[in-house]
Amino acid sequence: MYIGLGIVLLVLGLILVLDVITVDLSFVDDGALGTILIVAGALAIVLSLLYAPPWRREARDTVVHHRDDPRY
């Protein structure tokens, strides 16, 4: 879920760091803000992968067939 947010933050950070778009605010440094967004995006991706890695997700619906059951 947070992988998408992390990708968006990474892209926004790279846009600011690489000066694709400049923000003309006197109290905001484009490079510093971009670096902060890149770190936050990478952290969001790493934490989302550690929190719920795809190989550890369990199926919610599990069907169990017993060989003793004459229906099967």
Per-residue pLDDT tens digits for 44-61: 999 988 887 666 556 566
Going by C-alpha positions, the residue among 9, 29, 8 that lies closest to residue 19 is: 29
The upper half-sphere exposure of residue 50, i.e. CA atoms within 13 Å in the direction of its Cβ, equals: 6
Integer-rounded Cα Rg, in Å, for the chain is 22
DSSP conformational letter for 21: S
Predicted TM-score (pTM) above 0.75: no
- Predicted local distance difference test score (pLDDT) of residue 41: 96
In this prediction, what percent of the chain has a pLDDT beyond 70? 74
